[in-house]
Amino acid sequence: MVVYHLSTECYPVAKVGGLADVVGALPKYQNKIKGIDAKVVMPWYNKAFVYDHEFEKVFDGFIHQGSNMLQVQVMRETSNVLGFELYMVKIPGLLDRDNPYGYQDESFQFLAFQQGILHWLCAMEIKPDILHCHDYHTGLVPFMVEHCPEFEFLQGVKTIGTIHNGEYQGMMSWNMANYMPSFDAYKWGLMDWNGFINPLASMIKCSHAFTTVSEGYLEELFISFRGLESLVRQEFGKAYGIINGIDTEVWNPETDPMVDFNFNIKNAVAQKKKNKEKLCKEYGLKPELPLFAFIGRFATEKGADLLPDVVWRSIKQNYGSLNIMVLGSGNTYVENKLKEYDYTYTNFALDVGYKEHLSHKIYASADFLLMPSRVEPCGLNQMYSMRYGTVPVVRYTGGLKDTVEDISTGGAGLNFTYPGVDDIVHAMNRALEIYNQKGVMGDLIHANMNFDFSWEKSAEKYLALYNS
Ligand code: ADP
Ligand code: GLC
């Protein structure tokens, strides 16, 4: 069975968040299952990876976007170093950029990506068994395959859509239809939601099945989905929640080259302490105190807007008994307020930016990882932290609900209900109490490291879905 994953991100080629981690790992694990050949197709980016690896051109052609003719080249990484065939679609001016997102003309960018892929497959007469579309950027593919005459060759190919983040739907005005490949006009309703072209809605309507990255998140979408609640209820018959795994080869505390003092379950307590001492020294924190960390995008979904007040309140309340470290970027108010606190409080440290190496060091050093998410379709940070013996302190929502159980009911993490300063600080106070009980932290480190979040189980679930 040949599966093409279509995605704007893939680790380690280009990563903004968890989508990259999933698309960089799932196909690799799928290829370990007999009978599956999984590949990844993504846009070409100006990233170190493309200069450090060899590519061969496997297609050179063109598409039309409105009255513009666009050159489409498909480049294949020749060594399959990632554990799967990687194809990158290059379209000068649209798909040869520094980053995946943040451009004014992203509707043109993603339309060209989708059209470019389908054009290449048809021109080369490549007929996959499954086209697996990730998020709204590839959400129009299921529609295009069935209703654009240009792609008739692909009609009948099965399409799966995975929703990693329903907060972003890629809505466009209907004027953009002029820049799409021509389609059966009677079917326009399959792209429409409330008077706009809505690629995510279209993916739900037109794919043969769609998935969310946890069961908990799927349940939440029925009641809160930025306007698509009724659609997901109507289409629930083909909806599946499949929890993400983690790449335990990349995220292995015993071999991770980004971690200063590697460790396994036997020496975790002592080695984590050494990692923490080094990190605290670098950032002017106090290694003898518990370390709470936050890693992530400064976005409302992640509850990042609450961080300044959480830092202020917890440090005021518990001055001299905890450290907090934040790594991330995004909302300017949050960045600036936290920068101010970085100067004001010796127990607080901030590093602004996206730093893969530092994130690994933090997972390996921290005692607790904070995730006050308002929305969390799956969340990978909590699983990485658990694998690295760091206790997750998370809001009870989406994938966090499915992966972190509170210590009071036999789990090894801490949950809180509301994404508000009071609840978060209360959970942190509970964590401090646990930290100060002799022997408990060691048990928690071991319990967390014992969880199995590897991709094998979920890869099998996707296979069952493909087969169905
Ligand atoms: P999302 O995709 O919504 O941002 P996930 O929890 O699925 O959330 O994945 C986030 C991924 O991005 C994790 O691999 C996390 O370690 C990483 N990450 C987030 N922010 C940063 C940062 N500032 N520096 C390094 N890695 C980061
Ligand atoms: C999205 C979600 C995150 C999830 C990731 C990978 O970015 O916000 O919760 O873990 O996709 O599926």
Q: pLDDT at residue 283 above 80?
A: yes
Q: What's the CA-to-centroid distance between 189 and ligand 2, angstroms?
A: 28
| Cβ(375) – ligand 1 distance below 6 Å | no
Q: What is the mean pLDDT of residues 8-21?
A: 97
Contacts of 372 (CB under 8 A, 6+ apart): 302, 303, 306, 307, 310, 394, 395, 416, 419, 424
Predicted local confidence at residue 58, as pLDDT: 98
Q: Residue 164 in contact with residue 18, Cβ under 8 Å?
A: yes
**What domains appear along the chain, each with residue ranges and CATH number?**
2-247+456-467 (3.40.50.2000), 268-450 (3.40.50.2000)
| Cβ(258) – ligand 1 distance below 6 Å | no
Q: What is the mean pLDDT of residues 439-467?
A: 96
| Residue 134, φ and ψ in degrees, nearest 5 | -110, 115
Q: pLDDT at residue 310 above 80?
A: yes
Ligand nearest to the CA of 351: 1
Q: pLDDT at residue 174 above 90?
A: yes
Nearest protein Cα to ligand 2, atom 10: 379
Nearest protein Cα to ligand 2, atom 12: 164
Report residue 222 as tokens.
């029925």
Predicted local confidence at residue 99, as pLDDT: 97
Residue 88: its H or E element: strand 85-90
- Annotated binding residues: 15
Q: What is the mean pLDDT of residues 387-407?
A: 98
Report residue 263 as tokens.
């460790």
Helix, strand, coil percentages in the chain from 3-state DSSP, rounded to 5? 40, 20, 35
Q: Using CA atoms, how far apart are residues 203 and 45, in angstroms rounded to an integer?
A: 25
Nearest protein Cα to ligand 1, atom 20: 296
Contacts of 267 (CB under 8 A, 6+ apart): none
What is the full DSSP assignment across 401-457?
A: HHH--BGGGT-SBEEESSSSHHHHHHHHHHHHHHHTSTTHHHHHHHHHHT---BTHH
Q: Using CA atoms, how far apart are residues 402 and 110, in angstroms rounded to an integer?
A: 32
99-156 per-position pLDDT tens digit: 999 999 999 999 999 999 999 999 999 999 999 999 999 999 999 999 999 999 999 9
Q: Report the half-sphere exposure of 262 (CA within 13 A, side-chain side).
A: 8
Percent of the chain with pLDDT over 70: 100
191-250 per-position pLDDT tens digit: 999 999 999 999 999 999 999 999 999 999 999 999 999 999 999 999 999 999 999 999
Q: What's the CA-to-centroid distance between 69 and ligand 1, angstroms?
A: 37
12 upstream amide cis, omega within 30 of 0: yes
Q: Kindly state the DSSP code that residue 266 receives in the 8-state scheme.
A: T
| Cβ(297) – ligand 1 distance below 6 Å | yes
With b for 16 or more beta-carbon neighbours within 10 A and e for fewer, the 214-235 pattern comes to bbbbbebbeeebeebeebbeeb
Q: pLDDT at residue 319 above 90?
A: no
Q: What is the mean pLDDT of residues 22-44?
A: 98
Q: What is the mean pLDDT of residues 332-348?
A: 97
Atom of ligand 1 nearest to the CA of 371: 6
373-387 per-position pLDDT tens digit: 999 999 999 999 999
Instruction: Please work out, in degrees rounded to the nearest 5, the angle formed at the alpha carbon of residue 375 by the alpha carbons of 360 and 210.
Output: 95
Nearest protein Cα to ligand 1, atom 15: 381
Q: Kindly state the DSSP code that residue 340 receives in the 8-state scheme.
A: H
| Cβ(198) – ligand 1 distance below 6 Å | no
| Cβ(101) – ligand 1 distance below 6 Å | no
Predicted local confidence at residue 221, as pLDDT: 98
Q: Report the half-sphere exposure of 79 (CA within 13 A, side-chain side).
A: 7
Predicted local confidence at residue 438, as pLDDT: 86
- To test the pocket of ligand 1, the residue of 8, 165, 354 to mutate (highest count of ligand atoms within 8 Å of its CB) is 354
Q: What is the mean pLDDT of residues 20-27?
A: 98
The mean pLDDT value of the chain amounts to 97
Helices (H) and strands (E) in the chain, counts: 16, 17
Predicted local confidence at residue 152, as pLDDT: 98
61-96 per-position pLDDT tens digit: 999 999 999 999 999 999 999 999 999 999 999 999
